Amino acid sequence: MNDRALLDLVWTVCDALFRWTHVAGVAAWLGAVWALHFLRERSADPREASRALLHPLAPRALAFLRHGAGVTWVAGMLLLFSHYYHGLLGPVLLDGGLSFELEEALVKPSGEPTVRAWLPGFFALFAGWGLYELLFSFARGALALALASLVGAALWIGLGVALDEYFHYSARAAWTHLGAIGGTALAASLWIRVWPAQQRLLEQARSGQALDTPTFEFVRARLAQAAYIAPLVLMFMLANHYPLLFGGNPWPWPAVAGAVLALGTFVVAAVDRLARAAARGREG
């Protein structure tokens, strides 16, 4: 076996490990998010939630939530760097048909993208998280949350438009980055904001104290947002495998905006119906 064949074999094995680790992390993370969200909908009273936190399975569910998010994000970043920023699969980051000047500035002689080419996409991941925190940390009340959701959706799509139109990303790269932006915002929110708040609630439950209501409502709201946003992240990630939104579509960005609003509205309405049905079941 020559060096090139050995390198290809190593890359194939690593790519499979990255992909399936990413998929496993998504399954653990989103399964825990949806399970905990529906459990909290049934435990809107902090006293009921306190009893739920003392259940022997609660630490395991919370561990799936936290570590699933971490594994998903790390494996996703490895895939992002290996497939797009390093160019192991070829020039898939940038759109075809670049001018000579742009190709000279954005593509190395080896065919790999330059730092100038991939840095906007990498920066957009953390810009998306910053915008998410800015919008939802200060939104209070149903109307403010609805407006924050609309503005957030517009900014999310706007980042994708910027990568496509101004930084010359391919449709595949732009859609993947939209999914990565949403995933980064949710993972960072969980690790940096939700997990410390959840730990405070666990300590209060174990010591027999009443749960702090603002902290409880904050965790409950962030888990609900993650449950609603996750299907949109999956939609962007899977669009590369079934490019209904952009393949042969003359208006790709209006189409994706409509898909975000339609899918987001459907998920919110479906979850709301399930929560109302659960509430009626408790009353009955």
pLDDT in tens, 218-260: 888 888 888 888 888 888 888 777 666 666 665 666 667 776 7
Q: Which of 79-83, 248-252, 273-277, 278-282 has the highest mean pLDDT?
A: 79-83
Q: How far apart are CA 156 and CA 19, in angstroms?
A: 24
75 pLDDT above the threshold of 90: yes
Question: How distant, in Å, are the alpha carbons of 49, 197, 211 from that of 207?
Answer: 14, 16, 10
pLDDT at 127: 93
283 pLDDT above the threshold of 60: no
Query: What's the chain's average pLDDT?
Result: 79
DSSP state of 86: S
Residue 245 and residue 175 in contact, taking contact as beta carbons nearer than 8 Å: yes
Angle in degrees, 0-180, between the axes of helices 195-206 and 46-53, rounded to the nearest 10: 90
pLDDT at 184: 95
Q: How far apart are CA 26 and CA 211, in angstroms?
A: 30
Q: Which of 34-43, 54-63, 273-282 has the lowest mean pLDDT?
A: 273-282
Residue 46 and residue 216 in contact, taking contact as beta carbons nearer than 8 Å: yes
Q: How far apart are CA 92 and CA 172, in angstroms?
A: 8
pLDDT in tens, 117-172: 899 999 999 999 999 999 888 777 767 777 888 888 888 888 888 998 889 898 88
Residue 186 and residue 69 in contact, taking contact as beta carbons nearer than 8 Å: yes
Closest CA to 188 of 242, 130, 229: 130
93 pLDDT above the threshold of 90: no
Predicted model pTM = 0.84
DSSP string, 206-237: HTTPPPPHHHHHHHHHHHHHHHHHHHHHHHHH
pLDDT in tens, 100-113: 888 878 888 777 88
- What residues have CB less than 8 Å from 91, skipping those under 6 apart? 107, 111, 113
pLDDT at 125: 94
Sign of the four-CA dihedral 21, 223, 121, 160: positive
Q: How far apart are CA 222 and CA 226, in angstroms?
A: 6
- The dihedrals phi and psi of 88, each to the nearest 5 degrees, come to -65, -25
